[in-house]
Amino acid sequence: MQISRNHRTNQTFLQIKPGLFLSAILIVLLAMGGCVQPKHTAVDSAQRMLPMVNNPHLPEVIIALINQSDEQYFKHDLSAALATLERAVRIDPRLPEVWSRMAQVYLDQGKLEQARQHAKRSNSVLKNNMALKDFNDNIISGKPMESSN
């Protein structure tokens, strides 16, 4: 009895609702695509966007924290990347490289106003680093650079 009832159910499912089944698969695939697609974009843009650190006077501790935050950034853990950069700011708030990175992470999070604000903070402590100034100015003006390298 049980087997035949199950059999009947399966038959009904396959016979009557294949369209619904296929639609559901399609919706799931689209949803997955929707979730995954922006992440790929974020990776690509991230790899293009992070400014070079070419300040030979950066303390070892700051370099270590920047590297750690970059690692988190490329793993799309933007919140952790920001938290790590804040640790660097606490140690020395006068380093434009750190503020610019924070601006970039905010940009990737879609928080444009905070991205601009942090780019301004970078500019406020910046000296003679035109590449970084361009980077910041582009964020402030709402036109992020295609590539900083």
Partner 1 sequence: MTHSKPKSTPKTKPRQKYSKKEYSKKKSSKKTPPNKKRAKKKPPNKKKNNKAKKNSVSLSRILFNRYSLLGLFVLSIIFSGYLFYLNIKITDKMSGRIWSLPSHVYARPLELYQGKYLTVQQLQSELKQLEYTQVKNRPTKAGQFRVLNNAHFEIISRDFTFWDGQQKSQGIRLSIVNNKLSALHKLYSDESLALFRLDPVKIAGIYPATQQERQLIKLDEVPDDLVLALLAVEDRRFYQHWGIDPRSILRALLANVVAGGTVQGGSTLTQQLVKNLFLSPERTLTRKINEALMALLVEINYDKSVILETYINEVYLGQNGAQQIHGFELASQYYFASSLKKLRRDQMALLVGLVKGPSWYAPRRHKTRAVERRNQVLKLMLERGALSQAQFNKYRALDLGLANKPRFSSNRFPALIELVKRQLQSDYDEDDLKSSGLNVFTSIDPQIQAQAEASVLRVISQLEKSNNKVENLQTAFIVASSQQGEIQAMVSDRQPSFPGFNRSLDAVRQIGSLIKPAIYLTALQQPQNYTLASVLDDSPLHIKTTRDDTWSPQNYDKKFSGNILLHKALEKSRNVPTVRLGLEVGLADISDALQNLGVTRNIPAYPSMTLGAFNLSPFDVANMYQTFAANGFNVPLKVIREVLNKEGRPLKRYPLKSNKAIDEKAIYLINHSLHQVTQTGTAKSLAKNLPLTVAGKTGTTDDLRDSWFAGFTNEQLAVVWIGRDDNTSTGLTGSSGALRLWTDFFQRQEDNGGINSFSLEPPAGINKVWIDEKTGGLSEKNCLGAVELPFIQGSEPTEKAACKSAGIIEQIKRFFK
Which residue ranges make up the site for partner 1 (CB under 8 A)? 59-61, 63-65, 72, 77, 79-80, 82-84, 86-87, 89-91, 93-94, 102, 114, 117-118, 120-121, 124
Q: How far is CA 45 from the centre of its chain?
A: 8
**Closer to partner 1 at the Cβ: 38 or 59?**
59
Helix 130-140, helix 112-124: angle, nearest 10: 150
φ, ψ dihedrals at 121, nearest 5°:
-65, -35
Residue among 72, 63, 78 at smallest CA distance from 114 = 78
**Closer to partner 1 at the Cβ: 86 or 137?**
86
The total of other beta-carbon atoms located within 10 Å of residue 40's CB is 10
Q: Shortest distance, CB of residue 64 to partner 1, whole angstroms?
A: 4
Give the type of residue at 140: I
Q: Shortest distance, CB of residue 78 to partner 1, whole angstroms?
A: 10
**Closer to partner 1 at the Cβ: 60 or 146?**
60
**Closer to partner 1 at the Cβ: 44 or 134?**
134
Q: Shortest distance, CB of residue 118 to partner 1, whole angstroms?
A: 6
Q: Shortest distance, CB of residue 104 to partner 1, whole angstroms?
A: 14
Q: Kindly state the DSSP code that residue 117 receives in the 8-state scheme.
A: H
The total of other beta-carbon atoms located within 10 Å of residue 136's CB is 27
